[in-house]
A and B are shown apart, each in its own frame.
Chain A
Amino acid sequence: MRKILAMAVALASGAVLAGGSPIEARAAEKLKAAWVYIGPVGDFGWTYQHDQGRQAVEKELGDKVETTYVESVPEGPDAERVIEQLARAGNTLIFTTSFGYMEPTLKVAKRYPKVFFEHATGYKTAKNVSTYNAKFHEGRYVIGQIAAKTSKTGTIGYIASFPIPEVISGINALMLGAQSVNPDMKIKIVWVNSWFDPAKEADAAKALIDQGADVISQHTDSPAAMQAAEARGVKAFGQASDMIKFGPNAQLTSIVDNWAPYYIERTKAALDGTWTSTDTWGGMKDGEVVMAPYTNMPDDVKKMAEATQAAITAGTLHPFKGPIYDQAGKLVVKEGEVLPDKDILSMNWYVKGITDTVPGK
C-alpha cells in the first residue's frame, strides 16, 4: 500500500515536473541577440541598414528572439565595455558592426566562450567569432558603367572615407566598370577620413563638382553628398541605403546593403545550435548587395546596368577579371584569370587610369 502511495506521489510530482519543464525550456529557447552600431540608427546609411537587418530578424523569427542594440558606440576603449555589458545582459549572439570593434570583440569573446560573436568587415576570427562582409565592389562595377554612360565631362567624383582595402577595391571596381564603357574615363578622389560627417561629405561633393565631376559616387554613410548633387543639378549614386528621397532628380541608383538574409540565417543557426565560426563574404548572388531602382537615366543605360547586374549575379561576369594593369602598367591579373578573394580583401593598389596615389603608400 505504502509502495503504491509512494509511486503515486512520484508519478504526480513527475507529471508536475514534466508539465513545468516545457515552459521553462521554451523560455530558455528564446534567443537574445544584440547589435553594436558605430553611428546613430537614423544615419540613413550604414547603421540604418544594419538596424533594418535587425528588425527583419525580429519580424522573421517573432517571439523566438529578443533583440537589442546600442548605437553611436565609439571605436576605442568604450567598445569593449559595451560588448561585454551586452554579453553579461544575457545576449548569446552579438553583432559588432564596425571594423574598429575587431580587437574588443575578440577580447570579450575570449571571456565569454558560450556567446557567439559576429564582427563585420574585419579579418580575424576565433572559435566563437565569425566575420562577415559584403562584396560591395560588385555594385561599384555597375555604377562605374552607368557613370561612364552618364558623364558629359568624363570625370567621376569619388568621396572616400579611409584608405582601407574595402574602399580601395571599391574605387578600382568603379574604374574598371567605367573603363569597360569608356577607356578614357577620369576619376577625382577626395578623402574625408570619416565614415559619417555630413558637413565634410557635402563640402567634398561641392569641391568635386567645382573641379568638373558631374557624377558623384561616395563611400561614406550620410546622404549629404546626394543633397549637394541635387542642389547643383548633377547626378550621384547613393550609398548603403536607397537615398532617392534626398536626390529625386540626382540619384541614378544606390548600392544597398541588405544584411537581413545574413542576420536571419545566423540567428536561426544560433537557435538550432548549428552556429559555427565562419568567414562570409556575400554579394549580389546572396542578396546582400542590392541595387536601388535605376532612375534618372535613358532606357539604354538602364538596360545595360540591368544586364551587368544579372551577369554578376549569375557569376558570368567578375569585376576583377583580367587583364587588369596597375598604375605602373604592370599586368596584375592575366587575361581570363580572376583576382582571388584574398587579394581583393587586402587591396592596396590602384588600377591603370587612376592618376591619384593610394594615401600612405
Chain B
Amino acid sequence: MPLRLERQENISTLRLAAAPLVALVVTLIVGAVMFVALGHDPVRAFTIYFIEPLGDPWTLQELVVKACPLLLIGIGLAFCYRANRWNIGAEGQYVAGAVLGSWLALATHGTEAGPWVLPAMLLLGAIGGALWGLIPAFLRVRFGSSEILTSLMLVYVAQYGLDYLVRGPWKDPQGFNFPQSVTFDDVALMPLLFGEGRLHGGVILALVTVVVATFVLGRTLIGFSIELGGSAPRAAAFAGFDEKRVTYGVFAVSGALAGLAGIVEVAGPIGQLQPTISPGYGFTAIIAAMLGRLHPVGILVSSLVLALTYIGGEAAQISMRLPFDVTRVFQGTLLIAILAADVLVRYRIRRVEGASHA
C-alpha cells in the first residue's frame, strides 16, 4: 500500500503544542514495555528518571548546568538553520572558543592579574568560536563548498589542536607528563551563584542570550533577512538582502555562541584544559535546536528536557543498576517520538490510490 506524506498548510497551534505531549506518552508506553521486559518496575523507573531530579535543589542545579552549553550552542545554530545554512561543526567552534579563552587564563596564571581576566576570557572565547565558524562560511561564499562537510571536518581539526596543546606546550609542568593544563586561578573561574552546587554565572549569560535572540530573530530586520534568506532566497535577493552577508553573519553568531559555551564550560565546571572538554555538546545541541523548533524559548525548554534525560539516566544507572545502553535506548526513543510527532502534525499521511507500481 503506497503512502505519501503531504504537507498541511494550516496547522492549529493546539496540535503543535500537543505533539510533544503525545510523543512523551508514546515514549512512556515504549519505555514501560522495555522496563517490564527487563524485570524493572516501570513506575519506579519513571519516577527516578523524570520526577526525582526535579524535586531536589542539587539535581535542579545540575540540570541547568548541563543544559547551559546546549542552550547557548542551540540558539546559535537556530540562526544558521533558519537561514538554511547547515552548521554541523558547533563542537569545533566550542573547542576553538575554549582554547582561545583558556590561552589568557594560562598566560595570566600565577600573576597578580585582576578581575578583568574572566570577562576578557569570555570575549576571547566568543571571538575564537566566531573565527572558527567563519572558515566554513568563507569556503561556502568563495568556493561554493558544502558548509556541512567543511564545518564538520573542522571539528576534528579543533579537537586535535586542543589535544596537541594539552600534551605539548600547555601541559602542566608539575603534572608528571599527563595531558592537562594547570587548574585555573580564581580570577579565571566562573563565579558560582550559590554556596552549594555548581550553578555558575554562565547560566545568566545563557538566559540573556535567550532574550536577545528572541528579540533579534523575531522583531528586527536582521531576523527577517535571515528567515527570508532561508525560506525564499530569490525573494530575499530581490529585496536587496545580501546572501553572503547573511552567510557570514549567521556563522559568526553561531560560532561565537558555541565558543562562549566552550569557555564557560572550561572556566566553570571543568576549571582547566584537558583533552576532552565536551561530551558531544556541539552535536547534541543540533537536536536541542531542532526540538525547540529553532525558537530560543523552545530551545530553552528542549535543552532542559535533554539535560533531564541525561541526569535521569545516570540516576537510573545508580539506583536501579540499569545498564548504560538501556538509558541510551530510552533517550533515543524519546527523541524519535518527538521528531515523528512533529512530522505527523505538519504532514498528513495519504494513501495513494492506483499507484501500485510506485
Contact = CB atoms under 8 A, between A and B. Distances in A.
Interface of A: 34, 40-41, 68-72, 74-78, 80-82, 84-86, 88-89, 99-100, 103, 107, 123, 162-165, 168, 193, 345-348, 359-360
A76 B168 contact: no
A111 to B, nearest CB: 8
B230 interface: no
Given A70-B318, A88-B58, 13 more contacts: A68-B318, A69-B317, A71-B317, A74-B279, A77-B279, A85-B314, A103-B271, A103-B272, A162-B179, A163-B177, A164-B177, A165-B176, A360-B164
Contacts of B319: 68, 89
B177 A348 contact: yes
A164 B167 CA distance: 9
A34 B62 contact: no
Interface string B282-323: 000000000000000000000000000011001101110101
A193 B160 CA distance: 10
A77 to B, nearest CB: 4
Q: A-B pairs with the 9 shortest C-beta distances? A: A77-B269, A74-B279, A346-B176, A360-B167, A360-B168, A71-B324, A76-B276, A348-B177, A72-B324
Contacts of B183: 103
11 contacts: A75-B275, A76-B279, A77-B279, A81-B65, A84-B58, A85-B62, A85-B314, A123-B178, A162-B179, A165-B177, A345-B176
B277 interface: yes
A85 B272 contact: no
A139 to B, nearest CB: 21
Q: Which of A69, A346, A347, A360 has the most CB of B within 10 A?
A: A360
Contacts of B198: 80-81
A72 B322 CA distance: 13
Given A74-B279, A81-B66, A81-B311, A34 B177 contact: no
Interface string B150-173: 000000000000011001100100
Interface in B314-348: 314-315, 317-319, 321, 323-325
Nearest to B176: A346
Contact of A164 (B164, B179, B276): B179
Nearest to B58: A88
Nearest to A89: B318
Contact of B178 (A80, A82, A88, A164): A164
Given A34-B318, A165-B177, A346-B177, A77 B265 contact: yes
A359 B167 contact: yes
Interface residues of B, number: 39
Contacts of A71: 317, 323-324
B278 interface: yes
A70 B314 contact: yes
Contact of A76 (B270, B311, B317, B318): B270
A81 B276 contact: no
Contacts, number: 90
Nearest to B169: A360
Given A85-B318, A103-B183, A40 B279 contact: no
Nearest to A82: B314
Contacts of B311: 81
Contacts of B279: 74, 76-78
Contact of B171 (A77, A84, A345, A360): A360
B277 A81 contact: no
Contacts of B27: none
Contacts of B310: 78
B324 A40 contact: yes
Contacts of B314: 70, 81-82, 85
Contacts of B62: 81, 85
B276 A86 contact: no
B167 A85 contact: no
Nearest to A347: B177
Nearest to A74: B279
A77 B319 CA distance: 21
Nearest to B63: A81
B315 A76 contact: no
Given A71-B324, A72-B324, A193-B163, A77 B270 contact: yes
A75 B274 contact: yes
Interface string B161-200: 0011001100100001111100100000000000000100
Contacts of A82: 314
Nearest to A123: B176
Contacts of A76: 270, 274, 276-279
Interface in B61-117: 62, 65-66
Interface string B258-278: 000000010001111011111
A80 B270 CA distance: 9
Contacts of A348: 177
A99 B168 contact: no
A272 B77 CA distance: 55
A88 B318 CA distance: 11
A41 B321 CA distance: 12
A34 B315 CA distance: 13
B167 to A, nearest CB: 5
Contacts of B65: 77, 81
Contact of A99 (B167, B178, B315): B178
A319 to B, nearest CB: 19
Q: Which of A80, A81, A348 has the most CB of B within 10 A?
A: A81
Nearest to A342: B176
Contacts of B321: 68-69
B48 to A, nearest CB: 11
A72 B327 CA distance: 12
A78 B319 CA distance: 18
Contacts of A75: 274-276
A359 B164 CA distance: 10
A41 B324 CA distance: 10
A100 B179 CA distance: 9
